[in-house]
Amino acid sequence: MGARKVGKYEVGRTIGEGTFAEVKFAISTETGESVAMKVLAKSTILKHKMVHQIKREISIMKIVRHPNIVRLHEVQCGKLHVN
């Protein structure tokens, strides 16, 4: 895939992007499962004072279970990004 590794995921091409985040195609190196990885720049989160909003989104995504809504697998925080 020629991808970079983030945690247990091989991260590939960008499959979508919005104002505050990119969505990348990724594959779990443990299970081979394909996932969509949302990548947010910490600088953008801090600049736009979005910390509370991001924490709220994460807490909601942890409990939501619906066939038409993507499931949150995990949250990773690095020096520059939240994945």
pTM, rounded to two decimals: 0.82
Binding-site sequence positions: 47
How far is 52 from 22, CA to CA, in rounded Å?
19
Of the pLDDT bands very low, low, confident and very high (cuts 50, 70, 90), residue 81 is confident
% of residues, the chain, pLDDT over 90: 75
Task: Find the length of the chain.
Answer: 83
Higher pLDDT, 23 or 3: 23
Residue set of the binding site for ATP: 47
CATH numbers and ranges of domains, the chain: 4-82 (3.30.200.20)
pLDDT at 25 over 80: yes
